[in-house]
Amino acid sequence: MEEFLKNYQENFVNNFISIAEENTASSFSNSEGFLRTLAINLYEVIFFSNDEDKFQDVLRKAFENELNPVYPLTKSLFILLKDFLDFTLESDRVTENVKDLKGIVERIERYVSLAERAFQELFEKVKKEREKERSLDEQFLNIFRIIKESGLEVKTLTFYKEVPVSCKADIVKIERDYVALSLENCSYLKAFLSSDYVFLKIKNAPKPIKAAVLNVNPEKAVILLSRFRFEDIPQEKRKFVRVEPEEKITIQIIYGNRVISGIIRDISVGGVGVYTNEGELPKPGERVKLKFELEGNFFEIDGEVRYVIKEGKFYRMGIQFVSLTPGEEEKIAGYVINIQFNILRKLR
């Protein structure tokens, strides 16, 4: 049986990928590489390590990526079972393989049951969360009805390339699933077209209200919002205003004997955010030297790594400047202000 399972792994992986990609009823938008890795992990856990806890972890990661592997897993396992039965009947060791067949059936039954139970638990969890969201949404809808009736001012806030953009808004419609706001007098409507969410500031509210953007109609200057919750605005807690460069700016990060190249994602007088696809990166807390150029001004600045986050094929690093000179701070601040003005001018 072990030899069959070792030789069959690639067949299982290909069957899993094919079934997953054909199953358009589910959200299988992930790449073939992700599906291949998932299939390999599932196969090895079920037939080699036989570790139920690790199996649950693999399923959980798939669910977190909005992928339900239960159907392709179940169908691929039953194809394996059929192929092993054919293998058994064609083998000279029929009696021994029949005993192995019983073991495979029992293992498949156990892991399919685990997968179905995990999916059911996830389904119930999502159902409860959605019911909670509906209850919370209803509370917010009542708040918006009061605001509309009393004529309280609502300010909408979004961030376009890290630049804050705020406009007054009027509530024009309140439905069960959304609230419609008019941004008719907003000079920076373009900033809201690419927003996934906005913040609403209302007088006497305990906190700003964060809302998901369902749709923006630029012709009518109307924005549809849903999924409301009270939330502080992270950008307002920042000590320094940051901007995204309009042009591609390369940066060198030097630590030890290594030199890493990257692209500046955002910058402020407090530090830089950097994208890089290189490995062996410095860890949070480590000191580095940064070399980059802004508008003809060359900078060589000491920094401290604050975080390193994996984002797809890239890594995003946050690096805090250490001991800027007054001249360096003035030049970077001037660059940030110019970017802000350029962005706002283009939005009008």
The domain locations on the chain are 2-127, 151-237, 250-347
> Per-residue confidence at 208, pLDDT binned at 50, 70, 90?
very high
> Per-residue confidence at 274, pLDDT binned at 50, 70, 90?
very high
Domain 151-237: give its CATH code. 2.40.10.10
> Per-residue confidence at 27, pLDDT binned at 50, 70, 90?
very low
**2-127 and 151-237: identical CATH topology:** no
Residues of the chain with pLDDT > 70: what percent?
91
Which pLDDT value is given to residue 335? 92
Which pLDDT value is given to residue 29? 45
Q: Can you tell me the distance from the alpha carbon of 114 to that of 55, in angstroms, rounded to the nearest whole number?
A: 9
Average of pLDDT values for 211-223? 92
Residue 287 pLDDT greater than 90, yes or no: yes
Query: 49-80 pLDDT, tens per residue?
Result: 888 888 888 888 887 676 788 889 999 999 99
- Distance separating the N- and C-terminal Cα atoms of the chain: 70
Residue 28 pLDDT greater than 50, yes or no: no
Which pLDDT value is given to residue 151? 83
Residue 342 pLDDT greater than 90, yes or no: no
- 222-230 and 179-182: which strand pairing? antiparallel
Q: Can you tell me the distance from the alpha carbon of 137 to that of 177, in angstroms, rounded to the nearest whole number?
A: 8
Residue 43 pLDDT greater than 70, yes or no: yes
Which pLDDT value is given to residue 143? 87
Class for the domain spanning 250-347: mainly beta
Which pLDDT value is given to residue 85? 86
Which pLDDT value is given to residue 87? 84
227: CB partners within 8 A, 6+ apart: 133, 137, 211, 212
pLDDT top residue among 179 and 92:
179
Average of pLDDT values for 325-345? 90
For residue 279, what is the DSSP state?
S
Question: For residues 148-167, b (16+ Cβ closer than 10 Å) or e, as one string?
Answer: beeeeebebbbbbbbbbbeb
Average of pLDDT values for 258-280? 92
Query: 106-136 pLDDT, tens per residue?
Result: 888 888 888 888 887 776 776 666 666 666 6
Strands (E), the chain: 154-160, 163-174, 179-182, 197-202, 209-217, 222-230, 250-255, 258-268, 271-276, 287-294, 297-311, 314-321
Architecture label for domain 2-127:
Orthogonal Bundle (1.10)
146: CB partners within 8 A, 6+ apart: none
